Amino acid sequence: MSKPVLSPAPTLGPGADSPVREPFPWLRRSVDATTRLRGLLYPVAALLLLITAWEAVKLLVPANGVSIGDQRILPRTTDAALPHAWSVLTVLGEADGKSTVGATLVRTGGFTLGLALLALTLGTIVGVALAVLMQRFGWVERGLLPYVIVSQTIPLIALAPLVAGWGGKVTIAGQPWRPWMSIVVIAAYLVFFPVAIGMLRGLQSPSKAAVELLHSCAAGWWGTLLHLRLPAAVPHLLPALRLGAAAAVIGAVVAEISTGTAGGIGRQIIVFSQQSTGNAARLYAAVIAAALLGVVLTALVSLAEIVLRRYSRPGRS
């Protein structure tokens, strides 16, 4: 019985060993562009929904609000309590001393943003240092971590006067303590906690097998930290930095109000609140401007994610 003759495998022609190319690359680019556009439309839609709800409350709720007995369940909707959304925008062009309200908010907001950025930097340095120290020595983690957690239970409004009082007795390189330094320290106090916790979790995330592999290659603790633990900690650090950015702005604004430091948007909120006897548009504009500072600082933190993109997803080699 003769063996069957096998026909030769069909050749694919030139470039048979080349990787398979996507047949419609323009389709993938179109989908990516649609996804990015949708990501931008969601915040805009949420803002429009918020303004619509704002104006609906202004239109439907009575001027004196709604009360059941002595308990108010819906707020007052007079201009002194809840101005129209367009009033908050148009008030930016009103005169405020030698400038306009908008220019005042930009100036004071820039001052607070600079302090919040310094606080974010200081808090990040302290948080990362504490995380590395706690990862290196187990006894430090067991002894220090509970106090790191308990530290966040202290009300910031009670801590601010203490820091300002202590700072008045401190000199650095012969220079007296400045009021803005107290604000930076107070805001950094809120920043270091999420950074320390997130960084510690990231440093402890590598598997035991990966650590032992580096040890088998004669890598010591320092080499393991640089080549394994720090890259593995980046996906945990970036969300902590976003939280820290928001906390830095909150801490800076609260510290400015608590210490009475002039020049920042926190103090400007107090000034506008004293002027809002008949119309609270200026006060609302200042509060919205303070909220936008958190958005700006979070956007700056997102630049770090772009730089560290190769480490920004867990499990990526």
131-169 tens-digit pLDDT: 999 999 989 889 999 998 888 888 888 888 888 888 777
pLDDT of residue 105: 93
**Contact between residue 120 and residue 245 where contact means Cβ atoms under 8 Å apart:** yes
For residue 149, what are its two tokens?
A: 């957690």
pLDDT higher than 70, residue 242: yes
Mean pLDDT in the chain? 83
Task: Judge residue 104's burial from the number of C-beta atoms within 10 Å of its C-beta, 0-12 exposed, 13-18 middle, 19 or more buried.
Answer: buried
Structure tokens at 148: 């790191």
33 has pLDDT over 70:
no
Is the per-residue pLDDT at 213 higher than 70?
Answer: yes
> For residue 173, is pLDDT > 80?
no
pLDDT for the residue numbered 293: 93
Q: CA–CA separation, 144 vs 158, rounded Å?
A: 23
- Taking each helix axis from N to C end, the angle separating 230-259 and 101-136, rounded to the nearest 10 degrees, works out to 130
Q: Which amino acid is at 230?
A: L
Asked whether the predicted pLDDT for residue 316 surpasses 50, the reply is: no
Q: Tell me: pLDDT of 16 over 70.
A: no
Residue 25 scores a pLDDT above 70: no
pLDDT at 314: 47
Written as six digits, the tokens of 43 are: 């915040």
Please state which of the ranges 32-36, 169-173, 207-211, 231-235 shows the lowest mean pLDDT: 32-36
